[in-house]
């Protein structure tokens, strides 16, 4: 794409990207044409939405069924008092559009579940998991694989967080965690503490990974998971491979559509 | 029952009610409201740090908005401190904010650093980074350093009696070797990672929990997806924090340090 297709205003707004060898005018054009779905507009979704919007990702789908509560504002920085008790998708859309009106937001005020996941994910080229439940993590991973879409996974728990990228055929969430934790072992997320900036660290790494996938640059976190302990302030990389026996992306998959979802071992236990 | 604003943080055993009160009583100077200062200010405000010094002499420019998520398009042309204060107050109107439209220089660094419990270096100039380091060491204030360029950056925490920035890098690089964000470019999310790490470090130091990055430097390469921590010791000949210090007095800073931040021999 020639630089001329960026407007004078866009050349100013994205000047710091145009200066980067890995982005440049062609990469910026690519970002502006891209479509990213962020599922969950909470602790992780906040920095993801802000940084992808700032970067000029042209279309951002924001999916969340929830409303903004006072206790969200301790870490969900895309929201504010102005959006209290209103839909998270609506509040986040306003913040994102005020930052960058170049962005088109597609609001999805719904829970992503086995009934709507395929249709929704199919409309985007990169999916970012900003959810906080095991059910959603397995569901997004399965749906993204079935649609052959890359998925940027991130999660936090108390003082720890992790990020990895699932590229179809190179492993999925089930390859990394074949079984959900036993139901009793999972605390309700409202009862789990989190220090304010931890989701910022994990969410911004997710945003950077999404930008790398869109622009086809750098080494995405494929087949490696970055583990972070925020109290110790350590980062550790653990490698993993596609599990040939994986029921979804293995050599002999037993799950070939989300219609089979209930047949998948662990899916129900994972529902929280 | 309505859950309180900081409930999710208070239920962490590392924080508790006492820790949350400690944050509310704490004050932090955020020097620089750009790519690093944006997440630092948002997360410290969200966490409930009672008083924030917002220090920056610039105005919001359109080319800031690829990474400076504290601002909106309608802020272009406004002083950053004013726009930032407005944004933070809609997050939490109970915050005490000092909007200081000034740059940090040898002549005012003492007054600024002395007034806060902790300083976050979110600037983009080497002279200011070394000036803040020297002031923090001499005034025995904790400092959270951060720097970014292109796809990555670094952060470290300087604690009183711990190694400082000059133990690691004695002097700033030569002018000819310095690349600016304007020339080299930067990805917003890269400044988001380092700024979030800085915010987390500031919270840990204020709460006196966990292991801060004292004597350790976090280096992030977003392009390769790598985050490393490297340890570094105190330099027994450090020009500011050792018994052989040559930088000893902020009121005589110009005699001891060059305008570019180099130690004068």
The reported pLDDT for the residue numbered A192 is 85
The reported pLDDT for the residue numbered A186 is 64
Instruction: Give the separation between CA A192 and CA A78, rounded to whole angstroms.
Output: 21
Interface test mutation site (partner B, options A12, A13, A16, max chain B beta carbons within 10 A) = A16
Residue B231 sits at φ, ψ, to 5 deg, of -90, 150
**Nearest chain A residue (CA) to B64:** A13
CA A71 to chain centre: 22
Q: How far is A115 from chain B (nearest CA, A)?
A: 31
What mean pLDDT is predicted for residues B186-190? Answer: 93
| B43 chain-A contacts, CB cut-off 8 A | 75, 77, 196-197, 200
Residue A182: exposure state from Cβ atoms within 10 A (0-12, 13-18, ≥19): exposed
pLDDT band at B265 (very low <50, low <70, confident <90, very high): confident
Q: Distance of CA A75 to CAs A45, A100, A121, Å? A: 11, 22, 26
What mean pLDDT is predicted for residues A120-135? Answer: 96
Is the pLDDT assigned to residue A3 strictly greater than 90? no
Is the pLDDT assigned to residue A269 strictly greater than 60? no
Instruction: Give the separation between CA A113 and CA A94, rounded to whole angstroms.
Output: 25
Task: Find the CB nearest A235 among B42, B62, B229.
Answer: B229
Residue B13 sits at φ, ψ, to 5 deg, of -60, -25
The reported pLDDT for the residue numbered A259 is 76
The reported pLDDT for the residue numbered B21 is 97
Size of chain B, expressed as the number of residues it contains: 265
Q: How far is A185 from chain B (nearest CA, A)?
A: 18
pLDDT for B202-212, tens place per residue? 999 999 999 99
The reported pLDDT for the residue numbered A272 is 39
User: Who has greater pLDDT, A142 or B184?
Assistant: A142
pLDDT for B213-255, tens place per residue? 999 999 999 999 999 999 999 999 999 999 999 999 999 999 9
The reported pLDDT for the residue numbered B3 is 74
Instruction: Give the separation between CA B119 and CA B113, rounded to whole angstroms.
Output: 7
Is the pLDDT assigned to residue A254 strictly greater than 60? yes
The reported pLDDT for the residue numbered A60 is 98
Task: Find the CB nearest B227 among A13, A55, A235.
Answer: A235
Is the pLDDT assigned to residue A263 strictly greater than 60? no
With a pLDDT cut of 90, the percent of chain A lying above it is: 83
What mean pLDDT is predicted for residues A25-39? Answer: 98
Per the listing, tokens 């020297």 go with B134
State which H helix or E strand residue B130 sits in. Answer: helix B126-139
Q: How far is A81 from chain B (nearest CA, A)?
A: 6
Least confident of A51-60, A132-141, B18-27, B233-242: A132-141
Per the listing, tokens 């409303």 go with A67
Q: Is the CB of B182 less than 8 angstroms away from the CB of A19?
A: yes
Interface test mutation site (partner A, options B64, B75, B196, B198, max chain A beta carbons within 10 A) = B196
Q: Distance of CA B228 to CAs A151, A154, A205, B15, Å? A: 24, 19, 14, 26
The reported pLDDT for the residue numbered A267 is 47
What mean pLDDT is predicted for residues A61-72? Answer: 97
| B120 chain-A contacts, CB cut-off 8 A | none
Instruction: Give the separation between CA B183 and CA B150, rounded to whole angstroms.
Output: 10
Instruction: Give the separation between CA B241 and CA A145, rounded to whole angstroms.
Output: 54
What mean pLDDT is predicted for residues A114-133? Answer: 96
Q: Find all residues with CB under 8 Å of A17, minimum gap 6, and list them.
A: A23, A24, A27, A28, A31, A55, A56, B66, B185, B187
Rounded-to-10 torsion of CA B59, B165, B180, A7: -50
With a pLDDT cut of 90, the percent of chain B lying above it is: 94
Taking CB atoms within 8 Å and a gap of at least 24, the contacts of B75-83 are B80/B33, B80/B34, B80/B54, B80/B56, B81/B33, B81/B54, B81/B55, B81/B56
Is the pLDDT assigned to residue A183 strictly greater than 70? no
Q: Is the CB of B200 less than 8 angstroms away from the CB of A195?
A: yes
Interface test mutation site (partner A, options B84, B182, B185, max chain A beta carbons within 10 A) = B185
The reported pLDDT for the residue numbered A264 is 56
| B183 chain-A contacts, CB cut-off 8 A | 19
User: Who has greater pLDDT, B120 or A270?
Assistant: B120
Size of chain A, expressed as the number of residues it contains: 272
Decide if A13 contacts B66 (C-beta within 8 A). Answer: yes
Q: Is the CB of B225 less than 8 angstroms away from the CB of A20?
A: no
pLDDT for B50-107, tens place per residue? 999 999 999 999 999 999 999 999 999 999 999 999 999 999 999 999 999 999 999 9
| A18 chain-B contacts, CB cut-off 8 A | 185
Q: With the C-alpha atoms ordered B188, B229, B234, B118, is the resulting torsion angle positive or negative? A: positive
Is the pLDDT assigned to residue B1 strictly greater than 50? no
């Amino acid at each position: 794409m020639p630089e001329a297709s960026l407007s004078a205003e866009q050349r100013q707004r994205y000047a710091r990207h145009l200066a980067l060898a890995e982005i440049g005018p062609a990469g910026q054009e690519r970002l502006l044409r891209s479509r990213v779905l962020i599922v969950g507009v909470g602790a992780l979704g906040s920095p993801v939405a802000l940084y992808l919007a700032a970067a000029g990702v042209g279309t951002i789908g924001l999916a969340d069924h929830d409303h903004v509560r006072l206790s969200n504002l301790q870490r969900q920085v895309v929201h504010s008092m102005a959006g209290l008790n209103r839909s998270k998708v609506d509040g986040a859309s306003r913040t994102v559009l005020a930052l960058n009106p170049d962005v088109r937001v597609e609001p999805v005020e719904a829970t992503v579940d086995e009934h709507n996941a395929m249709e929704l994910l199919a409309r985007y080229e990169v999916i970012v998991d900003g959810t906080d439940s095991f059910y959603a993590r397995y569901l997004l991973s399965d749906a993204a694989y079935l649609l052959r879409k890359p998925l940027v996974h991130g999660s936090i728990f108390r003082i720890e967080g992790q990020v990895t990228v699932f590229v179809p055929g190179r492993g999925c969430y089930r390859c990394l965690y074949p079984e959900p934790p036993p139901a009793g072992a999972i605390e309700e997320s409202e009862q789990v503490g989190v220090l304010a900036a931890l989701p910022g660290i994990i969410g911004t790494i997710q945003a950077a990974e999404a930008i790398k996938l869109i622009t086809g640059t750098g080494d995405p976190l494929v087949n490696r998971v970055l583990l972070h302990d925020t109290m110790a302030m350590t980062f550790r990389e653990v490698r993993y491979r596609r599990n040939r026996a994986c029921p979804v992306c293995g050599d002999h998959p037993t799950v070939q559509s989300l219609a089979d979802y209930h047949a998948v071992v662990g899916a129900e236990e994972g529902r929280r | 029952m309505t859950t309180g604003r900081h409930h999710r943080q208070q239920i962490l055993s590392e924080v508790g009610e006492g820790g949350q009160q400690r944050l509310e009583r704490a004050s932090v100077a955020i020097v620089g409201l750009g790519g690093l200062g944006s997440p630092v200010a948002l997360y410290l405000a969200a966490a409930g740090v009672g008083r924030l010094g917002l220090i920056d002499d610039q105005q919001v420019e359109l080319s800031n908005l690829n990474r400076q998520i504290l601002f909106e398009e309608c802020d272009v042309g406004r002083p950053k401190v004013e726009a930032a204060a407005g944004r933070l107050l809609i997050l939490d109107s109970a915050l005490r904010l000092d909007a200081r439209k000034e740059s940090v220089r040898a002549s005012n660094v003492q007054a600024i650093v002395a007034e806060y419990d902790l300083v976050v270096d979110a600037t983009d100039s080497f002279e200011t980074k070394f000036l803040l380091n020297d002031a923090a060491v001499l005034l025995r204030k904790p400092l959270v350093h951060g720097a970014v360029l292109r796809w990555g950056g670094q952060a470290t925490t300087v604690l009183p009696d711990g190694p400082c920035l000059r133990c690691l890098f004695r002097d700033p690089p030569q002018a000819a070797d310095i690349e600016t964000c304007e020339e080299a470019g930067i990805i917003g999310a890269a400044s988001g990672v380092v700024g979030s790490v800085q915010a987390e470090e500031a919270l840990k130091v204020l709460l006196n929990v966990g292991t801060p990055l004292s004597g350790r430097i976090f280096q992030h390469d977003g392009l390769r997806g790598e985050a490393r921590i490297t340890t570094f010791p105190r330099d027994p000949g450090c020009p500011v924090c050792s018994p052989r210090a040559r930088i000893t007095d902020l009121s005589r800073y110009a005699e001891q340090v060059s305008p570019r931040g180099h130690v004068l021999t």
